[in-house]
Amino acid sequence: MKIYLNGKFVEEEDAKISVFDHGLLYGDGIFEGIRSYDGVVFMLKEHIDRLYDSAKSLCIDIPLTKEEMIDVVLETLRVNNLKDAYIRLVITRGVGDLGLDPRKCGKPTIFCIAIPMPPLLGEEGIRVITVSVRRLPVDVLNPAVKSLNYLNSVLAKIQANYAGVNEAFLLDDKGFVVEGTGDNIFIVKNGVLKTPPVYQSILKGITRDVVIKLAKEEGIEVVEEPLTLHDLYTADELFITGTAAEIVPVFEIDGRVINNKQVGEITKKLKEKFKEIRTKWGIKVYDE
Ligand code: PMP
């Protein structure tokens, strides 16, 4: 597997970065997880926009234009001859010294990894719990910034693992349920699709945006409003969305069974629609 690292493609065993890189020392960096389906990089422009917004927020000056960054992703797929892949694009503050002052870092470190990954969207549902670890408030470390610091999610995942379930849902500092460790949350109640709004502590998921768009196209009412535990426990349907997960139904939350452990009608419809558009809404890697 060939990895893009700071302007060159190198073999995996040669893809090494300094122990003085602030991405490693302080989690000082940003990233995107992206998918390609049958040679089309899904929502690539939107991922690159979010990456540059994260960079702007953290004052990381990316030395490539957005167009050049899109080419980095496309080239990484081409040199590895991949069509269905999971792509990890990472920018760190760069190599500095042991102090955390960002001014000590030279230029950002940029790497891009692509691994084969077949499309998902199976029918199975998952079990989740809500955990005692809270999502970081927007004025502490805004989850809208997709930073390399995922400790908040890691702590939540440890609790889910300990409880023997698939995923953890986090509450915000007010007690509203905001998101999973690496995914956004949707419920369906009386035919209305509901998801937490972006002013709460969430990452504005690209898949979240796609699902909202698809639902509206289907004439389904979509409401972005804060959700309580009660809203989730009494939901007609419950599912998560994310680049890696795609759309996954939740069959059980904190011991409450949702929709008799069946995939709900609206979830099913959205999964079908997503399957149709995932090879269309994106940028082609290869010429026809
Ligand atoms: N929330 C968090 C915390 C995430 O890490 C992710 C995955 N990037 C998501 C939501 C879903 O975002 P997306 O649909 O853009 O993958």
Q: 161 — alpha (psi -120 to 50), left (phi > 0) or beta?
A: alpha
Rounded (10°) angle between helices 206-217 and 44-57: 130
Q: How far apart are the first and last CA of the chain?
A: 24
Marked catalytic residue, from 45, 56, 66, 146: 146
Nearest CA to ligand 1 atom 2: 182
Give this complex's ipTM. Answer: 0.99
Q: Which atom of ligand 1 is nearest to the CA of 143?
A: 3
The band of 60, judged by pLDDT with boundaries at 50, 70 and 90, is very high
Q: For the chain, give every domain's residue range.
A: 2-116, 126-277
Per-residue pLDDT tens for 149-177? 999 999 999 999 999 999 999 999 999 99
34 forms beta bridges with 87
Per-residue pLDDT tens for 88-107? 999 999 999 999 999 999 99
Topology, domain 126-277:
D-amino Acid Aminotransferase; Chain A, domain 2 (3.20.10)
104 included as an active-site residue = no
Using CB atoms within 10 A of its CB, is residue 11 exposed (0-12), middle (13-18) or buried (19+)? exposed
Angstrom distance (rounded) from CA 260 to CA 186: 17
Burial pattern 141-176, b for ≥16 Cβ within 10 A else e, equals bebbbbbbbeebbebbbebbeeeebbbbbbbbeeeb
Angstrom distance (rounded) from CA 274 to CA 269: 9
Ligand 1 contact, 33 CB (< 6 A): yes
Ligand 1 contact, 203 CB (< 6 A): yes
CATH second-level architecture of 2-116?
Answer: 2-Layer Sandwich (3.30)
Residues in the chain: 288
Residue ranges with strand state E in 95-190 = 109-116, 126-130, 167-171, 177-180, 184-189
Per-residue pLDDT tens for 141-152? 999 999 999 999
